[in-house]
Amino acid sequence: MASPSDVHALSRVPAAAPPTRRPSPSDGPGPETDLPRIVPRRHIGRLVTAAFALLLFAMAVHSVVRNRAFQWDVVGRYFTTAAVLDGLLLTLWLTAVVMVLGFLLGTPLAVMRLSANPVLQALSWGFVWIFRSTPLLVQLLFWFNIGALYPTLGLGIPFGPEFVTVRTVNLLGPTLTAVIGLTLHEAAYAAEVVRGGILSVDAGQTEAAQALGIGRLRTLRRIVIPQAMRSIVPTAGNMLIGTLKGTSIVSVLAVHDLLYSVQLVYNQTYQVIPLLMVATLWYVAVTTVLGAGQFYVERHYARGSARALPPTPLQRLRLRTARLRGRSGKATGRGR
């Protein structure tokens, strides 16, 4: 039975507060339920630099477009003429042939350089040393005048009689001379590119292949080279673009490449600047296509090393579009 003192004490205990209800999104925004909005930091220097760069770019474009000395009507007239397109096709053909033959010769040279045979090492090093030390123009002129050193070329027993002989002048024309000179020059650089790619592969890969009883040639072809392509492709892509532009030097041999074809036209019309712009625009267009192809080849060989492949330009465009749609949706929701 409770005493009067206990009843008095219980009367002093404060009553429990009613449970508070959390605000729901349907209640609408209120001054007490709104969270503080995070405002991104403003980079004033970055904005000023971007505005200044855009101003310079706009001034450069305006000066090129409005300058009548470029004669853009003449550029458009000669851009797709038969002479220019024939020169472009020969330039592309030279680039493809030189790159293929250069790497076909450079890969054995790289393997010889990494070989334990000192004779093969010395021969490979000497080839790379000579053809990297000599300017390309000097090499082309040397091969163009090779007939002064060897008037005839023969096939027969070494250090013995020759069964078949042919005059060098009849055998080596300007186009074939350009292919030989460019290929030997390219092979010296390709050998170093391939050697660097092979050295980038972990030595444990070769040791594991040897432990499994896999032969050296098969190890190189199936294990080492595929992994070395990650290091070879970026440099090879730069070499490809450099070879495309370097083929213009064969114009000194009267090879009808893109530059020589353009020169033939402006030697007759005396419209030097617009015809040079025709060649420039074609070089830029082809280089852009090759650069895009290099990106996808690098992405293909990055599958074994990267967890997430870099997004393609189309994927980046879709991602940015989705972000813009999300921002516009949020802004519309806030406006409502």
Least confident range of 28-32, 93-97, 327-331: 28-32
Give 283-312 pLDDT, tens digit per residue.
999 999 998 888 888 887 777 666 666 677
Question: Is it the case that residue 178 has pLDDT exceeding 60?
Answer: yes
Across 69-78, 98-107, 246-255, the highest mean pLDDT is recorded for 98-107
Q: Of the candidates 336, 232, 218, 240, which has an alpha carbon nearest to the alpha carbon of residue 287?
A: 240
**Global confidence as pTM:** 0.73
DSSP states of 152-220 as a string?
A: EEEEESTTS-EEEEEEHHHH--HHHHHHHHHHHHHHHHHHHHHHHHHHTS-HHHHHHHHHTT--HHHHI
Cα distances from 319 to residues 189, 300, 315, 325, in angstroms, run: 39, 21, 6, 10
Only one residue has tokens 């050296």, namely 216
Cα distances from 246 to residues 216, 251, 279, in angstroms, run: 36, 10, 13
| Distance between CA atoms of residues 280 and 108, nearest Å | 36
Q: Please, are residues 290 and 297 in contact by the beta-carbon 8 Å criterion?
A: no
Question: Is it the case that residue 32 has pLDDT exceeding 60?
Answer: no
Give 127-159 pLDDT, tens digit per residue.
999 999 999 999 998 888 888 887 887 777 777
Question: Is it the case that residue 52 has pLDDT exceeding 60?
Answer: yes
List the Cα angle 220/226/232 in 5-degree steps.
105
pLDDT value of residue 9: 47
Q: Please, are residues 317 and 324 in contact by the beta-carbon 8 Å criterion?
A: no
